[in-house]
Amino acid sequence: MLKDREIIHLLRKGKNTLAFEKIYRHFPSIKKLVMTHGGSEEEAKDIFQESVIVFYEKVSQANFELSSSIATFLYSISNHLWLKKVRDVKSRETNLNNLYTQIPVENEMDIEKEEQIQIIDKLLEELGNPCKTLLKNYYYLKMSMKEIAQAMSYSSENIAKNQKYKCLERAKKMFKDKLGLFQSLLISDSSSTI
Protein backbone atom coordinates (compact mmCIF):
# COMPACT_ATOMS: atom_id res chain seq x y z
CA MET A 1 0.00 0.00 0.00
CA LEU A 2 1.33 3.41 -1.00
CA LYS A 3 2.01 5.99 1.65
CA ASP A 4 0.72 9.54 1.29
CA ARG A 5 4.18 10.89 0.40
CA GLU A 6 4.49 8.31 -2.37
CA ILE A 7 1.09 9.29 -3.76
CA ILE A 8 2.13 12.96 -3.83
CA HIS A 9 5.39 11.96 -5.52
CA LEU A 10 3.44 10.02 -8.21
CA LEU A 11 1.19 13.01 -8.85
CA ARG A 12 4.14 15.34 -9.22
CA LYS A 13 5.79 12.90 -11.64
CA GLY A 14 2.60 12.76 -13.77
CA LYS A 15 1.78 9.15 -12.83
CA ASN A 16 -1.78 10.12 -12.03
CA THR A 17 -3.59 6.85 -12.70
CA LEU A 18 -2.03 4.91 -9.85
CA ALA A 19 -2.11 7.93 -7.53
CA PHE A 20 -5.80 8.66 -8.17
CA GLU A 21 -6.63 4.99 -7.75
CA LYS A 22 -5.25 5.24 -4.21
CA ILE A 23 -6.89 8.62 -3.55
CA TYR A 24 -10.32 7.32 -4.57
CA ARG A 25 -10.26 4.76 -1.79
CA HIS A 26 -11.21 7.68 0.49
CA PHE A 27 -14.55 8.24 -1.24
CA PRO A 28 -16.67 6.14 1.16
CA SER A 29 -15.90 8.45 4.10
CA ILE A 30 -16.85 11.53 2.02
CA LYS A 31 -20.02 9.80 0.84
CA LYS A 32 -20.96 9.08 4.44
CA LEU A 33 -20.24 12.70 5.43
CA VAL A 34 -22.48 14.15 2.71
CA MET A 35 -25.29 11.62 3.01
CA THR A 36 -25.35 11.93 6.81
CA HIS A 37 -25.96 15.64 6.36
CA GLY A 38 -28.85 15.38 3.89
CA GLY A 39 -27.01 14.99 0.61
CA SER A 40 -27.36 12.39 -2.10
CA GLU A 41 -24.77 9.99 -3.46
CA GLU A 42 -24.51 12.15 -6.60
CA GLU A 43 -23.80 15.21 -4.48
CA ALA A 44 -21.20 13.23 -2.55
CA LYS A 45 -19.50 12.31 -5.83
CA ASP A 46 -19.50 15.96 -6.90
CA ILE A 47 -18.10 17.15 -3.58
CA PHE A 48 -15.43 14.42 -3.63
CA GLN A 49 -14.41 15.33 -7.19
CA GLU A 50 -14.09 18.99 -6.21
CA SER A 51 -11.98 17.99 -3.19
CA VAL A 52 -9.70 15.85 -5.33
CA ILE A 53 -9.26 18.78 -7.73
CA VAL A 54 -8.36 21.08 -4.83
CA PHE A 55 -5.91 18.46 -3.55
CA TYR A 56 -4.36 18.00 -6.99
CA GLU A 57 -3.96 21.76 -7.46
CA LYS A 58 -2.29 22.07 -4.05
CA VAL A 59 0.06 19.15 -4.77
CA SER A 60 0.99 20.76 -8.08
CA GLN A 61 2.38 23.75 -6.19
CA ALA A 62 6.10 23.27 -5.57
CA ASN A 63 5.96 24.68 -2.04
CA PHE A 64 3.02 22.53 -0.87
CA GLU A 65 3.68 20.25 2.06
CA LEU A 66 0.95 17.99 3.38
CA SER A 67 0.59 18.57 7.12
CA SER A 68 -2.02 15.84 7.63
CA SER A 69 -2.97 12.60 5.94
CA ILE A 70 -4.55 12.71 2.48
CA ALA A 71 -7.72 11.26 4.03
CA THR A 72 -7.90 14.10 6.56
CA PHE A 73 -7.16 16.72 3.91
CA LEU A 74 -9.89 15.40 1.58
CA TYR A 75 -12.38 15.09 4.43
CA SER A 76 -11.69 18.63 5.58
CA ILE A 77 -12.05 20.10 2.08
CA SER A 78 -15.19 18.03 1.42
CA ASN A 79 -16.73 19.12 4.70
CA HIS A 80 -16.01 22.76 3.87
CA LEU A 81 -17.43 22.45 0.35
CA TRP A 82 -20.56 20.64 1.56
CA LEU A 83 -21.26 23.19 4.30
CA LYS A 84 -20.81 26.01 1.78
CA LYS A 85 -23.23 24.34 -0.64
CA VAL A 86 -25.83 23.82 2.10
CA ARG A 87 -25.48 27.46 3.22
CA ASP A 88 -25.81 28.71 -0.36
CA VAL A 89 -28.95 26.64 -1.01
CA LYS A 90 -30.55 27.72 2.28
CA SER A 91 -29.66 31.34 1.60
CA ARG A 92 -31.20 31.21 -1.90
CA GLU A 93 -34.33 29.51 -0.58
CA THR A 94 -34.68 32.03 2.24
CA ASN A 95 -34.33 34.94 -0.16
CA LEU A 96 -36.68 33.47 -2.74
CA ASN A 97 -39.35 31.95 -0.47
CA ASN A 98 -40.87 35.38 -0.07
CA LEU A 99 -41.75 35.73 -3.76
CA TYR A 100 -45.45 35.38 -3.08
CA THR A 101 -45.61 37.57 0.00
CA GLN A 102 -43.17 40.35 -0.80
CA ILE A 103 -43.02 41.67 -4.31
CA PRO A 104 -40.06 44.03 -4.66
CA VAL A 105 -41.77 47.29 -5.54
CA GLU A 106 -39.41 50.11 -6.46
CA ASN A 107 -40.00 53.85 -6.09
CA GLU A 108 -42.43 53.22 -3.22
CA MET A 109 -45.28 52.32 -5.56
CA ASP A 110 -48.31 51.37 -3.50
CA ILE A 111 -49.80 48.20 -4.96
CA GLU A 112 -52.71 46.58 -3.15
CA LYS A 113 -52.46 42.93 -2.05
CA GLU A 114 -55.12 41.86 -4.55
CA GLU A 115 -53.20 43.45 -7.40
CA GLN A 116 -50.05 41.64 -6.21
CA ILE A 117 -51.86 38.30 -6.36
CA GLN A 118 -53.13 39.09 -9.86
CA ILE A 119 -49.60 39.96 -10.97
CA ILE A 120 -48.26 36.71 -9.51
CA ASP A 121 -51.02 34.67 -11.18
CA LYS A 122 -50.30 36.33 -14.51
CA LEU A 123 -46.57 35.69 -14.05
CA LEU A 124 -47.25 32.03 -13.33
CA GLU A 125 -49.32 31.77 -16.50
CA GLU A 126 -46.50 33.33 -18.51
CA LEU A 127 -43.92 31.04 -16.91
CA GLY A 128 -45.82 28.04 -18.21
CA ASN A 129 -45.22 24.48 -17.17
CA PRO A 130 -43.40 22.90 -15.42
CA CYS A 131 -42.62 26.08 -13.43
CA LYS A 132 -46.26 27.05 -12.97
CA THR A 133 -47.16 23.64 -11.56
CA LEU A 134 -44.04 23.35 -9.43
CA LEU A 135 -44.44 26.78 -7.83
CA LYS A 136 -48.18 26.35 -7.23
CA ASN A 137 -47.56 22.95 -5.64
CA TYR A 138 -44.93 24.42 -3.34
CA TYR A 139 -46.45 27.77 -2.38
CA TYR A 140 -50.20 27.28 -2.69
CA LEU A 141 -50.60 23.59 -1.95
CA LYS A 142 -47.70 23.58 0.56
CA MET A 143 -46.32 20.32 -0.84
CA SER A 144 -42.87 19.22 0.30
CA MET A 145 -40.04 19.01 -2.23
CA LYS A 146 -40.17 15.23 -1.90
CA GLU A 147 -43.88 15.19 -2.78
CA ILE A 148 -43.26 17.54 -5.69
CA ALA A 149 -40.42 15.36 -6.98
CA GLN A 150 -42.73 12.34 -6.96
CA ALA A 151 -45.74 14.18 -8.41
CA MET A 152 -43.72 15.75 -11.21
CA SER A 153 -41.56 12.69 -11.92
CA TYR A 154 -38.24 14.27 -10.96
CA SER A 155 -35.62 11.66 -10.13
CA SER A 156 -34.79 13.24 -6.76
CA GLU A 157 -35.80 15.88 -4.26
CA ASN A 158 -32.63 17.84 -5.05
CA ILE A 159 -33.50 18.04 -8.73
CA ALA A 160 -36.93 19.41 -7.74
CA LYS A 161 -35.21 22.00 -5.50
CA ASN A 162 -32.88 23.05 -8.33
CA GLN A 163 -35.81 23.32 -10.72
CA LYS A 164 -37.72 25.43 -8.16
CA TYR A 165 -34.74 27.76 -7.86
CA LYS A 166 -34.49 28.14 -11.65
CA CYS A 167 -38.22 28.82 -11.90
CA LEU A 168 -38.04 31.47 -9.18
CA GLU A 169 -35.11 33.13 -10.90
CA ARG A 170 -37.08 33.23 -14.18
CA ALA A 171 -40.13 34.62 -12.39
CA LYS A 172 -38.05 37.25 -10.65
CA LYS A 173 -36.45 38.34 -13.93
CA MET A 174 -39.82 38.46 -15.68
CA PHE A 175 -41.25 40.56 -12.86
CA LYS A 176 -38.34 43.01 -12.91
CA ASP A 177 -38.60 43.31 -16.71
CA LYS A 178 -42.33 44.01 -16.49
CA LEU A 179 -41.87 46.46 -13.63
CA GLY A 180 -39.24 48.33 -15.66
CA LEU A 181 -41.57 48.44 -18.68
CA PHE A 182 -44.45 49.63 -16.49
CA GLN A 183 -42.32 52.36 -14.94
CA SER A 184 -41.09 53.55 -18.35
CA LEU A 185 -44.70 53.69 -19.59
CA LEU A 186 -45.65 55.75 -16.52
CA ILE A 187 -42.74 58.13 -17.10
CA SER A 188 -43.50 58.54 -20.82
CA ASP A 189 -47.22 58.96 -20.08
CA SER A 190 -46.60 61.62 -17.42
CA SER A 191 -44.19 63.51 -19.69
CA SER A 192 -46.71 63.55 -22.54
CA THR A 193 -49.37 65.11 -20.30
CA ILE A 194 -47.11 67.99 -19.22
Q: Which of 88, 112, 137 is the last residue of a domain?
A: 88
Quick: pLDDT tens for 103-121: 444 444 444 555 666 667 7
Q: Which residues form the domain of 113?
A: 101-192
Q: What is the CATH number of the domain that holds 144?
A: 1.10.10.10
Q: Are residues 137 and 168 in the same domain?
A: yes
94 domain residue, yes or no? no
- Cα separation, 19 vs 59, in Å, equals 12
Q: Are residues 26 and 81 in the same domain?
A: yes
Q: What pLDDT, on the 0 to 100 scale, is given for residue 109? A: 47
Beta-carbon contacts of residue 139 (< 8 Å; ≥ 6 apart): 99, 100
pTM: 0.47
